[in-house]
Amino acid sequence: MNLVVLMKQTFDTEEKVIITDGLLSEDGVKWIINPYDEYAIEEAVRWKENHGGVVTVVTAGPDRSEEALRIALAMGADEAIHLVLSPSDTGGMDEFTISHLLAKTLQEKQPDLIFSGHFSVDQGSAQVAVRVASLLDLPHVAAITSIERIDDSQVTVSRDAEGDSENLKVTLPALFTAQQGLNEPRYPTLPGIMKAKRKPIEKRSASAQLQNESYAPATERVALELPPPRQAGQILKGTVSEQVEQLVQSLRNASSLF
């Protein structure tokens, strides 16, 4: 079985983020695999271990993305494709463009199962994977929390549906995006890290992969800025009735509700 994982390298949102002139400053930034994509990698590797197959990880990103691919290979993926974005590419691509780029690559692989994270923690649009499914005319299910094999042509999945759970039967090939709770991603072992150094990473120019076809971005970013700092909280003291009175007075001072 041919398994493909769509992966993105993102900045660690737990670290301090600095915006300079409307752009993310990369000075001192820690780059990681998008956490939701880690669930996708783990699920693909588990599927291979239980049912056989080959796991290919695909990413579109600058040169530094190779580090994330090596980690994915150390987790158990077999091979990787790096669609290298030049600095000029990075500034002129959005979810629309990236999804066309990935879809063209996947057409060659003819995957039976495609996994991706539900969304990336940097952009949070949750668009790329489902756009790829649409371009490839494949069924897809978003935010899955479990997947079970019926046979070589069907699976059952459960998905998070705003607090409820939906159970679906899906015919393969298909694409699934991984939600937190699908599994517990493994840490790369030392033997896995050593093996990953010898596993193949195929590098392709992103612009060449599009074969000179023009996919102009469908969106335009007009500004990028951090949210305003949160105001310090206020501790109410005294009896309950006194605290209620203080709270009402604070609300009156802070808004026009009263």
Neighbours of 12 (CB within 10 A): 14
Q: Is residue 234 part of a domain?
A: no
CA 225 to mean position of chain CA atoms: 21
Average pLDDT rounded to a whole number, residues 196-222: 81
pLDDT at 213 over 70: no
Q: Is residue 248 part of a domain?
A: no
pLDDT at 44 over 60: yes
User: Nearest-CA neighbor of 116 among 42, 178, 32?
Assistant: 178
| Average model confidence (pLDDT) across the chain | 89
Q: Note whether 62 and 84 are within 8 A (CB).
A: yes
Q: What confidence tens digit (pLDDT) does each residue in 45-56 have?
A: 999 999 999 999
User: Nearest-CA neighbor of 218 among 134, 107, 133, 99?
Assistant: 99
The CATH number of whichever domain residue 176 belongs to comes to 3.40.50.620
- The pTM of the full predicted model, rounded to 2 decimals, is 0.85
In degrees and rounded to multiples of 5, residue 38 shows phi and psi of: -65, -40
Q: What confidence tens digit (pLDDT) does each residue in 149-192 have?
A: 999 899 999 998 887 889 999 999 999 999 999 999 999 999 99
Q: Is residue 61 part of a domain?
A: yes
Q: Is residue 71 part of a domain?
A: yes
Q: Counting beta carbons within 10 angstroms of the beta carbon of residue 194, is it exposed (0 to 12), middle (13 to 18) or buried (19 or more)?
A: exposed
Q: Is residue 237 part of a domain?
A: no
Q: Is residue 240 part of a domain?
A: no
Residue 159 lies in domain: 2-209
Q: What confidence tens digit (pLDDT) does each residue in 77-135 have?
A: 999 999 998 876 665 678 998 999 999 999 989 999 999 999 998 888 899 999 999 99
Q: Is residue 225 part of a domain?
A: no
Q: Note whether 34 and 86 are within 8 A (CB).
A: no
Take residue 81 and report the two structure tokens written for it: 């494709």
pLDDT value of residue 214: 65
- Between 6 and 238, name the one with better pLDDT: 6
Q: Is residue 38 part of a domain?
A: yes
pLDDT value of residue 221: 75
Q: How many domains does the chain have?
A: 1
Q: Please state, in angstroms and rounded to a whole number, the distance separating the CA atoms of residues 149 and 152.
A: 7
